[in-house]
């Protein structure tokens, strides 16, 4: 694909007053969100369709984006929806060079009305966000951009990410079931806080049927589904927004723990479990987003390179042990970059969670065995597994 016409002007406007001007691509107009950056070198399609990025304008640190195009297999949202609010890149590839591509990145962005800006110094933007933290932002594009004052006023008027209850925006409205192709060994009810497509795929590889339910599903309904499908466990997925707003889901997970039903959580699910155990959450300065984040397992002493996408975290100390309403618990994992809590577990082996993404789409596969640990838990093991 070659450029057929001159690009129109565009601007990335940060609420603190910084403005980065470049050229528009994708759809045109304006979009608002929180400016964040991802350090992933690959996997822009998986990033853009991850519901955890809802209401976020994503800055790619990789300088060249779009060369592998867009395919019909790698989207991570139910229905292949792009969830990011906008995309910021240094260089947009003008050709697509991948045998799996069905169309270009820009064609898909236009089809889904996603606004992008290219030709900006993404290194400068990322350094600014690391220094100042993730901030409210807006992308504006068109032949005639609003004035600087008008753009800043629009950006500053948007709601903040702190206190944002977004899981309901991205969650399924109806229950749906993902069945294994072969024998069904177990059934798990999965709370969809923004579940990625590859998570049920990892379950069905292991013979686990996944019954996906809305984020506000009452525990009583979960019990009915477990009985209907002869289910054994409960899972809470990744998702966007402030975990401090997820009181409804936290209350349901407390009932799950009280009923001694095996539990596994990822990302937002880690924060939900932590809150159910009595831990607090807080907003990170600029979050963890990428596919190269080192995490230390304090139980085994091993280190995994992980895929992550979160702007909030649990407050705690490495290997801290604490009492809960459901028995003793401990912090099991922390991030080697900044000491952030990356995993918690009940010491009785009936519940564990991690802040990162073992479904690995995109990203390294170091943490993929956590799904096997959950299977061992369902098998009746006393602990989630040696790798927890």
Active site residues: 267, 357, 359
Three-state secondary-structure class, residue 192: coil
Q: Any known ligand binding at 343?
A: no
Q: Any known ligand binding at 385?
A: no
Q: Any known ligand binding at 134?
A: no
For 350-378, give one letter per residue: b (16+ CB within 10 A) or e: bbbbbbbbbbbbbbbebbbbbbebbbbbb
Residue 83 vs residues 80, 165, 239, 278, 363: alpha-carbon distances, Å = 9, 15, 11, 31, 18
| Nearest partner of 137 among 119, 151, 149, 116, judged by Cα | 151
Rounded to 5°, angle at Cα 261 from 273 and 319: 40
Q: Any known ligand binding at 241?
A: yes
Q: Any known ligand binding at 52?
A: yes
Half-sphere exposure of 125 (CA within 13 A, CB side): 33
Q: Which residues contact 284 (CB under 8 A, 6 or more apart)?
A: 310, 311, 312, 313, 340
DSSP string, 129-167: HHHH-SEEEEEEESSSPPPHHHHHHHHHTSPPSTT---H
Q: Any known ligand binding at 311?
A: yes
Dihedral of alpha carbons 236, 240, 244, 246, sign: negative
Distance between CA atoms of 111 and 106, rounded to whole angstroms?
Answer: 9
Q: Any known ligand binding at 308?
A: no
Q: Any known ligand binding at 28?
A: no
Q: Which helix (H) or strand (E) holds 190?
A: strand 186-191
110 cis-preceded (ω within 30 degrees of 0): no
- 10 Å CB burial of residue 2 (0-12, 13-18, 19+) is exposed
Q: Binding site residues for L-glutamine, as ranges?
A: 52, 239, 241, 268, 271, 309, 311-312
Q: Binding site residues, as ranges?
A: 52, 239, 241, 268, 271, 309, 311-312
């Amino acid at each position: 694909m070659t450029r057929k016409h001159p690009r129109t002007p565009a601007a990335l406007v940060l609420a603190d007053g910084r403005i980065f001007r470049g050229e528009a691509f994708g759809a045109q107009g304006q979009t608002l969100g929180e400016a964040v950056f991802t350090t992933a070198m690959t996997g822009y399609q998986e990033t853009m369709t991850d519901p955890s990025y809802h209401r976020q304008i994503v800055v790619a640190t990789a300088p060249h984006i779009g060369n592998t195009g867009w395919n019909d297999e790698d989207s991570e949202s139910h229905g292949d929806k792009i969830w990011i609010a906008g995309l910021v890149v240094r260089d947009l590839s003008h050709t697509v060079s991948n045998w799996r591509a069905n169309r270009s990145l820009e064609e898909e962005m236009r089809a889904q009305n996603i606004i992008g800006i290219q030709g900006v110094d993404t290194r400068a933007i990322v350094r600014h966000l690391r220094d100042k933290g993730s901030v409210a932002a807006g992308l504006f594009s068109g032949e005639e951009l609003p004035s600087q004052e008008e753009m800043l006023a629009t950006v500053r008027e948007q709601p903040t990410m702190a206190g944002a209850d977004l899981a309901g925006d991205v969650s399924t409205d109806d229950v749906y079931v993902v069945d294994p192709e072969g024998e069904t060994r177990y059934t798990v009810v999965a709370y969809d806080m923004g579940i990625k497509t590859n998570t049920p795929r990892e379950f069905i590889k292991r013979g686990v049927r996944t019954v996906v339910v809305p984020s506000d599903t009452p525990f009583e309904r979960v019990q009915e589904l477990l009985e209907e499908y002869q289910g054994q466990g409960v899972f809470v997925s990744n998702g966007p927004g402030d975990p401090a707003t997820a009181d409804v889901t936290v209350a349901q997970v407390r009932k799950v723990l009280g009923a001694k039903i095996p539990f596994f959580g990822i990302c937002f699910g880690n924060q939900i479990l932590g809150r159910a155990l009595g831990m607090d959450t807080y907003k990170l300065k600029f979050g963890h987003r990428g596919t190269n984040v080192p995490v230390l397992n304090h139980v085994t002493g091993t280190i995994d390179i992980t895929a992550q996408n979160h702007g909030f975290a649990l407050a705690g100390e490495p290997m801290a042990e604490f009492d809960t309403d459901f028995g003793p618990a401990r912090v099991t994992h922390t991030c080697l970059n900044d000491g952030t809590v990356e995993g918690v577990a009940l010491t009785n082996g009936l519940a564990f969670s991690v802040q990162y993404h073992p479904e690995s789409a995109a990203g390294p596969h170091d943490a993929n065995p956590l799904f096997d640990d959950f299977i061992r838990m369902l098998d009746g093991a006393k602990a989630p597994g040696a790798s927890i």
